[in-house]
Structure 1
Amino acid sequence: MKPPVNRSFEDTSVRIPINEIIPLKQLSPSLLKSSKYAQIAASIEEIGIIEPPVVIRDRLQPDRFHLLDGHIRLDVLLKRGDEEVVCLVATDDEAFTYNRRISRLATIQEHTMILKAIDKGVPEDRLARALNINISSLRQKKSLLDGVCPEAVELLKDKHVPFNTIGQLKRMKPMRQIEAAQLMIAMNKYTVTYAQSLVAATPDTMLVKPKTKIGGLSQDQLARMQQEAATLERDFKTIEQDYGTDNLELVLTIGYIGKLLGNARIVRYLAQFHPDILAEFQKVTELRKAA
């Protein structure tokens, strides 16, 4: 007999007073002024909340909640003067920690949001106004992932991948899409130029359509590009091993702090008793992302 599967969320969503929700992070001044914040605010103003914030009950005060996901949405609602919000209530704070979910509206996440809104019956023109784009751009975003395999989508789902880069992925067959996504992540490079170079270095057998002649490159040059692409990940790992001692210690320290912030219990404790330390830890991990 199989053991019962633990639920990640309570059975029903809950309408919660906003003043009973405790955020686990502070929004930076630059984020408050960003286009991402403005876009989310415009979307909420035009069509309301599409994806409810995610909270978890406080262990000692079950009528109070800690915010795991949806910090921008909650801030927008507060500034609008809203007093309540419908939330999903998580039951497992280890499986759904804020630290893995704070980067919203990455390219693929925006695509998912658009599909959810359309599925709920939101007219295209209204949705386009909410996102401050025209109908043609909206329809392109709606079909963003047509031709991209689910495994590559999963790898890139929280990355800020340019629209045209995903277009280059569509030129490859599924196995090569996965390899390309892994190389982009390893190099932390998602530009369309890099994606084009990966396409150029891909054998015709791994492309949806064979390449036409590329910029006067000879077959020998293309073969060399293919060989370089095949060894790129190995070279990247070699470079990692050549870091100096100080740099290595810094990487390890930041990694350890990142793991601490990946534990919602620790984050909740720091938010309640040591918010200044939590703020500094978050700054350190943000520096790592920007590096």
Structure 2
Amino acid sequence: MPRTEADRILKSSRHAIHLTDDLLEPQTPLNRYVLLRTHGRQCERMRRFIGEANASRERLENAVEALRQLMPVDAFRALLKAEGFATTPRTLAERISRNQSSTLIGCDKPGHTIAASQHLIVGVCYEVIDLLEDCSVNPKIFGLLRKVVPSRQVEIAQFMIALDRVKVNWARVLIALTPQSQLADPSIPRTQCAGITANQIEAMESESTDLSKEFRNTAERLGSWDLEFIAVRGYLNRLMDNLKIVRYLAHHFPKQLAQFQGVLETAPRS
């Protein structure tokens, strides 16, 4: 990184004073209880986030599939036209026409990696500094992040922000469970935690890696999902306000009607 660019970031960042300090990491060893408790909470938060997103997405997909089944029915299309629903929102029409299986949350992206510049400011990737600019950050977190490669620094910062846990212990556990190959110096053995065996660390690392990958994939899809949900929910709200359409569905297609109602009963994401 050019000196002028480094100077610009140091001057503009509210964390600059910390970046010019010694950036010491916590001196006390990572406690077994802290490691197990924090890792458990991380996994619990990720599973809950993924589960809630998938449950809502499944209801949405069911409603779209119900519309996909109804649209070829001449009587239903005629009723829609007569009641002023001759056209559907473009977002909804596109979803009805495309393959459902290609949009499921949780599908991994082959070869997906986090891009990060190799440019560092006192050992910290400057993308991380930008990510954490609006967060309250304990300076020790920067000292910890220097122990891993830039791409892992970015991954850890994004992860803590997404779970609203920019905390020293969370950073310590994520770094403790970082694969050896992603350490800034892979030749240095990872710090051992008293009372935790190498096999336990390996199992937690594997669990954390798998859950983190699914969590990121889920989070990346939520932006487009929210837009589609708004379109589908708005359209179904108008349909369900029409007494003739509701009576027709209740008499001829009760299963599809229940799927529509399931979407409407789903609380919108805040």
TM-score under structure 1 normalisation? 0.34
TM-score under structure 2 normalisation? 0.37
CA radius of gyration, larger in: 2
Which structure has greater helix proportion? 2
Higher relative contact order (CA 8 A, sep 6+): 2
